[in-house]
Structure 1
Amino acid sequence: MATNSTPSVRSSNSSPGSSDSHGPERAGQLETRGIDLVPADERGGHPRRLFAVWAAPNVSYLSFVVGATLILMGLTLPQAIGVILAGNLLWICTGALAASGPVAGTSGSVISRAMYGVVGNKVVLVLTGWLIAAAYLALNWSAASVAGIGLAGRMGLPDSRAVDAVVICLIAGGTLLIAIFGYAMIVRLYAALSVLLTVVFVVVTGYVLAGTDWSYAPAEPLRGAALVATLGAGFTIVASAPLSYSNSPDLARYLPRDSSPVAVAGWTALGAYLPSVVFTAVGAFAATGLDMSDPQAALETILPGWFVPVFVIAVVVNTMTNNGMTAYSAGLSIQSVGVRLARIPAVLVIGVLGTAMTLYAILVFDFLTSVNTMLQLVVVVTGPAMAVAVTDLVLRRNRYDGAVLLEARRGGPFWYRGGVHWAGVLALVVGGIAATMWVTTSFWTGPAAKALWGVDAAVLAGMITASAVYWGATRVLGSIPRG
């Protein structure tokens, strides 16, 4: 079991391709540190700076899209607001995980060795740290690209797939620059962008509220089983965002080790929750008076002509802030698996994969369909993974020794049996199966959901099952000593 002792030396098995000497990270300077331990003399700051770090990516155009989707699904405005408030409460889990960052002093992808074992963690990271991260990069880049392609048309550029591809690649390239410069750039840049993006989106909100139909009611109000099923699907879509952010320790690891866990968790969760709730609700308001089947076109009809380019640029910048964090953490995940790459090349690898998926989503598939389908499907993995991580944190009382976790040695405390912590793997698999049984999408409805009027309870089923299995299995195996 990890201890409370403060590591005094850096692990010899720190990030591949990194050196053992790092200066304090500064904005505008390439971050060279990978997953290796952040020493005490290079830490600083207060947990409250995490508010802006998490607010900037969540002052989001995608929130407008999700909010509008709830109305398009047939919910009334009060029902949609209720789903938005409830689904976003899962940011509490993201905040709780962030509290492990200052304690361990390393990335979340290394901390998860405590849950799955040194070898088992590699398999899990390929799924959660690579494929799902790349899928989220593609989802967000798709949102920005739709906006950017529209702006290119306004500027007189031809409507062609070549122009679309160039726009996508430019947005991806700008995002990867943020991830390459790393932590200090993210902290400094996002503090300013959270204010600027909020100003732009508040102006959009004003125009939306002016045209909101406060007496809106669906043409055919949902009742009974149909209503319950739609509420479940809506909750899954909203909850998918916080469940995807298991990387919160990465952005808290530079804080002093003795930072208040409550403050770290609180500022992280609050920074994400507030803008997510506000702007998802605005999307729902917009759908009462606009045809939000094409969100960007609909919003542009109510904005002054001069403001439309400002709005589009804000959409693109917001997406870059969101994906900058994702690419940053995905690069660390690649190192955690043991790939012999320094952090910056690792970021580029995940960026190329995400860009390829974006090109497919925009040039081949329908954007709105891509959003809804993906958000409902990823919770099958992200929900159980989040539940296992939070349960582990509670069972260990947030006592993680980063130096020991980084050793990754055979026979070490996190080697378990054959390098696999079977309690974690079992919990993730069984939780995933439970979620699959309850998920509902356009092409798949789980048998449990079918038996209960098509209700999508994937998030709750997956998380509760995974947490219970992990707790029980660790007790049976004795893999997390009590005390």
Structure 2
Amino acid sequence: MHIEADSPLGSVETRTIDMVPEAERHGSPRSQFTLWFGANMQITAVVDGALAIVFGAEALTAIIGLLIGNVIGGIVMALHSAQGPRLGLPQMISSRVQFGVRGAALPLVLVILMYLGFAATGTVLSGQAINRIFGVSSPEFGILVFGSLTAFVAVVGYRLIHVVGRIATVVGILGFGYLAFQLFAHHDVASAFGQKPFSVATLLLTIALSAGWQMTFAPYVADYSRYLPTRTTIASTYWTTFSGSVIGAQLAMTFGVLVAALGGNFLKNQVGFMGDLAGGPVIAALIFVVIVTGKLTVNCLNAYGGFMTILTTVSGFNNKTQISSRARMLYIVGFVLVSMGVALLASADFLNNFKNFVLLLLAVFVLNLVDYYLVSKEKVDIPALYDCNGRYGAYNPVALGCYVLGVVVQIPFLNQAMYKGPIATMLGGADLSWIVSLVVTCLVYYPLAKRTMKVPATMIYPTDAAPQSAPATRAATPAVAPDARQPA
């Protein structure tokens, strides 16, 4: 879906779920590092690290487990990012290869709910920080201000989002570096270690915390690498994304482990604790700005990705390939308003336990990777992604069945606040659900997909978007019938 030619920073982005032509590609892989470092070096990642201590892990065990999980999950999310320059497409449109043009609606609806839940959680914390900056007690004020900032950046789009990521990287390093200095200067950090015995169950649970954190970025990543030139190598996109996300998350989570292990009221008053640790009202206000900047980065990803995922879902049924600027803005503003409403109305328990739901999405990301790298081997018929009568059809029962299987097999292995499965109980509380889901889904889907997928002989591009280096792979026909090309 396209509105008009791409525009410079400061004006509204025009591309949505259509392929970005080579003439509009720009930037370098370095932008992936700063975006994902900034999106991970933030207060919610600190909370995730602190939860490892709450769940019973010893501090050193927690730090090692979080590192293992971040690396494992980072591999999955970075492999998705590497698809961006090759396909020139946002992440979730490519799920139509596996599920079909309309069948993709099943995982897409769940991803939309994920975006909303994460956006609402971030809005609550950022609203608290904004209220403290301005000395306001009404929660509505901070939420309204933060929601407005989120909507503005998401509407302007890709270029501005990357600028915010660069700012968040610098601000995050300075802000959290100062907080770490304060922590070491005023607390006996060494006493945080050795408080509890080592436990395999808590190690596995800690690995799951960070692996799940990283893998939930899988629906996001190609959205922000798709404008990179086609000549960009897979390795450069992969490593800049991987390193930015893993390093940013690990630093923030390690800080969370230390503040939780040292005691205090961090989890009861996360924003207030950070301000108190800063020392003095002026420095505390600056730390609140750090919190807002980091959360703004990731919340813009939620609004931007949420809008495109909604559009991907809707377009599978109405066959429209164009959208007006006004409609694009309304999609984004509508999403932000709903997330603000959830932030105001949802209970704290709902937002804290929301991450449990996200584990059910992991099978979607594995299906995409198995198909792209092992079955299709980086060959996609891009025009067919927009045509129910094309190569991928409306529904793919193989992928849909494997996805449901990937969700069901997790249940006995889950160890979450809302449910603890019998096998998790037998294993002393170790949560292996995500590992079981990934392994079973891969083993079942791969042989079935090899037999049933209609893989093109080479990459097939739209006639108006193919790279100059690949004229032989251009599609001869438009993505959909001409009468479907009406603005929303």
- Larger mean CA deviation between 300-309 and 78-87 belongs to 300-309
Counterparts of 2:341 and 2:212, CA distance in 1 = 22
Aligned equivalent of 2:278: 303
Q: Deviations over 1:267-305 (max 9, x none)?
A: 111111111111110111222324123333333333221
Q: Output the TM-score relative to the length of structure 1.
A: 0.86
Aligned position for 2:370: 391
Deviation at 1:482, TM superposition (A): 9.2
- Asked if 1:336 is matched to 2:312, the reply is yes
Aligned match of 1:354:
339
* 8 Å contact kept, 2:274–2:287: no
Query: Is 1:248 aligned with 2:230?
Result: no
Cα separation, 1, equivalents of 2:384 and 2:301: 26
Contact 1:26 1:185 in 2 (8 A): no
SS at match of 1:441: coil
Name the counterpart of 2:428: 453
Partner of 1:116: 99
2:357 to 351, 366, 377: 377
Q: 1:218: how far off?
A: 6.7
Cα–Cα, structure 1 residues 360 and 212, in superposed 2: closer, same or farther, change >3 Å? farther
Q: Deviations over 1:85-111 (max 9, x none)?
A: 011111121111111111111211211
Alignment of 1:263-274 (within 5 A): 263-274=236-247
What's the CA shift string for 1:186-225, capped at 9, x where partnerless? 1233223311222112111211233242133576x356xx
Tell me the matched-pair count.
442
> RCO greater where, 1 or 2, for CA within 8 Å and sep 6 or more?
1
Q: How does 1:84-123 map to 2 (within 5 A)?
A: 84-89=66-71, 90-123=73-106
Cα 1:26/1:189, change in 2 over 3 Å: farther
Q: Would the alpha carbon gap of residues 124 and 73 (structure 1) be closer, same or farther in structure 2, given more than 3 Å must change?
A: closer
1:83 maps to a residue whose letter is G
CA distance in 2 between counterparts of 1:297 and 1:345 reads 34
Match of 1:430 in 2: 405
Shift in CA distance, 234/54, structure 1 to aligned 2, threshold 3 Å = same
Structure 2: where are the runs of 5+ without partners? Answer: 459-488
Q: Please say if 1:47 is aligned against 2:21.
A: no
Is the Cα–Cα contact under 8 Å of residues 126 and 142 in structure 2 kept in the other structure?
A: no
- 1:413 aligned residue: 391
Question: 2:147 aligned with 1:175, yes or no?
Answer: no
- Tell me the distance in 2 between the aligned counterparts of 1:359 and 1:481: 48
Deviations 1:53-80 (A, max 9, x none): 2111111111211122212222212101
Q: Tell me, yes or no, if structure 1 residue 293 matches structure 2 residue 275.
A: no
Q: Is contact 1:426-1:469 (8 Å) kept?
A: no
How far the C-alpha of 1:147 sits from its partner, in A, is 2.9
CA distance in 1, matches of 2:14, 2:457: 38
Which residue does the alignment assign to 1:216? 192
Paired position in structure 1 for 2:208: 236
Indicate if the aligned counterparts of 1:107 and 1:249 stay in contact, CA closer than 8 A: yes
- Residue 180 of structure 2 aligns with an amino acid whose one-letter code is T
> Identity over the aligned pairs, expressed in percent?
21
5+ residue gaps, structure 1, are: 1-14
Task: For 1:145 and 1:438, locate their aligned partners in 2 and report how far apart those are by CA, in whole Å.
Answer: 36
Q: Return closer, same or farther for 1:137/1:75 CA change in 2, 3 Å cut-off.
A: same
CA spacing shift, 1:477–1:404, aligned 2, 3 Å: closer
Equivalent of 1:72, from 27, 41, 54? 54
- Give RMSD over aligned pairs: 2.1
**Counterpart-to-counterpart distance in 2, 1:458 and 1:384:** 11
How far residue 446 of structure 1 moved from its aligned partner, in angstroms, is 1.8
Q: Which of 300, 316, 322 is equivalent to 1:324?
A: 300
Kindly indicate whether the alpha-carbon contact (under 8 Å) linking 2:275 and 2:288 is maintained by their aligned counterparts in 1.
Answer: no
Give, in angstroms, the shift of residue 377 of structure 1: 3.2
1:257 and 2:257 matched: no
Structure 1 residue 385: deviation in Å? 1.5
Q: 1:33/1:217 Cα in 2 relative to 1: closer, same or farther (>3 Å)?
A: closer
Match of 1:7 in 2: none
Is the Cα–Cα contact under 8 Å of residues 371 and 449 in structure 2 kept in the other structure?
A: no
User: Aligned partners of 2:279 and 2:308: how far apart in 1?
Assistant: 42
- Whether the 8 Å CA contact 1:233–1:376 is kept in 2: the answer is no
Mapped to 1, the partners of 2:125 and 2:75 lie a distance apart of: 26
> In 1, distance between residues paired with 2:401 and 2:456?
19
Letter in structure 2 aligned against 1:456: D
Query: Which aligned segments of 4 or more residues in structure 1 are displaced greater than 4 angstroms?
Result: 478-483
